[in-house]
Amino acid sequence: MTPNTSPPATDMTLTQSVEEIRLAAQVLTDDGRTIEWQRVTTMLAPADRQACKHALACGDAALARLFMQGKTAGRLVSDRARLVDLIVCAAWQATAADTLADAALVAVGGYGRGELYPHSDVDMLILLSDANKLPAEEPVAAFLAML
């Protein structure tokens, strides 16, 4: 019978790939300590599906980097909500805002409180008048498809 041996301990530090570091650098300030929100906004103009995906990837990488720097959870969940809010608003402006000028797009739940944890649902409510229900189908579908 052989003695029960454990595998060697591995380095359990958090790391990011070169690609994640490159993505994070696109939205972090020059000193790398905070997100430069204007850079995210610029990425989203004009907003299309690819721009939204890229902004989200850059923001996620930047938030992971900030986490590794020891930023507080409160700050990170607030920044994630802000990131998602910029993307959602850009998608709404690009797909539905002009057609549904009297509609209201409302963030609810944790997202509505400005607290969005990684991998959390993004809960939204779209309020329409009875007159706008039918003409809203196409722009709302386009908005949801972009997201």
Q: With pLDDT > 90 as the criterion, what percentage of the chain qualifies?
A: 81
* pLDDT computed for residue 132 by the predictor: 66
* pLDDT computed for residue 12 by the predictor: 46
What is the DSSP annotation of the chain? -----PPPP--------HHHHHHHHTTB-TTSSSB-HHHHHHHTSS--HHHHHHHHHHHHHHHHHHHHTT--HHHHHHHHHHHHHHHHHHHHHHHTTTTTTT-EEEE-HHHHTT---TT----EEEE--GGGTTTTHHHHHHHHHH-
Whether pLDDT at 107 is above 70: yes
Is the pTM higher than 0.85? The answer reads yes
* pLDDT computed for residue 32 by the predictor: 96
Whether pLDDT at 13 is above 60: no
Whether pLDDT at 22 is above 90: yes
